[in-house]
Amino acid sequence: MAQEIINTPAVLPEAMPMLAESPLSVVVAAHGAGMTPETLQGFMELFREQQRVEAEQAFNEAFSAFKKEGVAVVKNSLVDFMTKAGRTTYKHATLGEMVEAVSPALAKHGLSQNWETEVEEGKVKVTCILRHKMGHKEKTSMAAVMDTSGGKNAIQAAGSTITYLQRYTLQTITGIALLDDDDGRGHLPPQQPQSQKKSEKKKEDGTLLDKAIAALDKYAAPGRTLDELLEAWPGFEAHGKKTLSKEAYQKLENYKNQIEEMLMEAES
């Protein structure tokens, strides 16, 4: 009597539907159940899709929580210079101020940002990428021709344009607000009458600022170059942010910008 062979589908272990497990656990369970490679591939695709959906959901929840932080940056960096077309003056938030404002709030919710840069044939493209710790990411890109104004060399032109695009792509992807500086102090509550301690601090701040300006002033002397100023500035910047008040540091930075514009005109 001939025997009838009946093929029954593999029965998955109870753990198999739990796609939240690791890919390795899915493979092990499938192998133990005698699953065919084709069926296994289907389960793996389902597993990856579930991971993608969960990562995107986690990103959206984290970004929503970040937005509730209400991060805002005051435009208090003054640009003021003369050109053949007339005087140009405006305020903006520096890249450093923007990164300093958003980074702690992003990190608090498992988010981080970075940039990718492409430079080709006189044009710069910057992409800002916002990532979540579970893997989902969003990005936005902007491109512009290199800023060669003021007699900048190729490296300076690329650096200036990259910084400019990094600022705007970061603002775009995070949606942070840029606020006008009403009175040179930012959006701060009205100052209370200063105590003696505050008065002494202000006097000390003025002395430190005078010393910093005097040291910076040598780069405005005849024979000095823009490259020398730009090479020395990071040291002034680090020391100024550490020892000066925000208001005093802004004055130092404005003075540096004036020297930079003067040197640019001299080299053009």
| Residue 137 pLDDT level (bands cut at 50, 70, 90) | very high
At residue 111 the predicted structure's pLDDT band, cuts being 50, 70 and 90, is very high
* Dihedral pair phi/psi, residue 147, rounded to 5°: -85, 100
Evaluate whether residue 18 is within a structural domain: no
Query: Which tops the pLDDT comparison, 263 or 16?
Result: 263
- Please report whether residue 8 resides in a domain: no
Are residues 160 and 74 located together in one domain of the fold?
yes
Helix or strand holding residue 53 (H, E): helix 37-67
Task: Tell me the average pLDDT of the chain.
Answer: 78
Same domain, yes or no, for 154 and 108?
yes
Please, which pLDDT band fits residue 217 given cuts at 50, 70 and 90? Answer: confident
- Residue that is last in its domain, among 165, 185, 205: 185
75 and 112 assigned to the same domain: yes
Q: Which two tokens stand for residue 16?
A: 């198999």
Residue 9 belongs to a domain: no
Contact 173, 113 (CB under 8 A): yes
- Give the number of domains in the chain: 3
Helix (H) or strand (E) holding 126: strand 123-132
Is 255 within 8 Å of 213 (Cβ atoms)? yes
b/e 142-171 (16+ beta carbons within 10 angstroms → b): beeebbeebebeeebbbbbbbebbbbbbbb
Q: What was the pLDDT predicted at 185?
A: 40
Residue 3 included in any domain: no
- Mean local confidence (pLDDT), 175-194: 55
Q: Do 169 and 236 belong together in one domain?
A: no
pLDDT at 61: 95
For residues 75 and 153, the answer to whether their CB atoms sit within 8 Å is: no
Give the mean model confidence (pLDDT) for residues 1-13. 46
78 with 110, same domain: the answer is: yes
My answer on whether 89 and 117 are in the same domain is: yes
Residue 136: the pLDDT is: 95
* pLDDT at 8 (0 to 100): 43
Q: Please, what sign has the CA dihedral across residues 11, 15, 21, 27?
A: negative
**pLDDT above 60: residue 10:** no
Residue 227 banded pLDDT, cuts 50, 70, 90: confident
- Contact at 8 Å (CB) between 75 and 93? yes
Query: Which pair of tokens denotes residue 125?
Result: 């493209």
pTM, entire model: 0.55
Residue 91: domain span = 69-185
Same domain, 133 and 77: yes
Q: Which residue has the higher pLDDT, 158 or 23?
A: 158
Among 185, 218, 253, give the residue marking a domain's end: 185
d(CA 260, CA 80): 11
Residue 30 has pLDDT above 70, yes or no: no
Reference 130, options 106, 95, 104, 108; nearest CA is 106
Residue 264 neighbours by CB distance under 10 Å = 17
Using an 8 Å Cβ cutoff, are 20 and 6 in contact?
Answer: no
Q: What is the mean pLDDT of residues 31-45?
A: 73
Structure tokens at 238: 């680090």
Q: Which domain-ending residue is among 153, 185, 217? A: 185
- Asked if residue 266 is part of any domain, the answer here is yes
The CA-atom distances, in angstroms, between 226 and each of 147, 196, 260 are 16, 41, 6
Average pLDDT over residues 23-29: 65
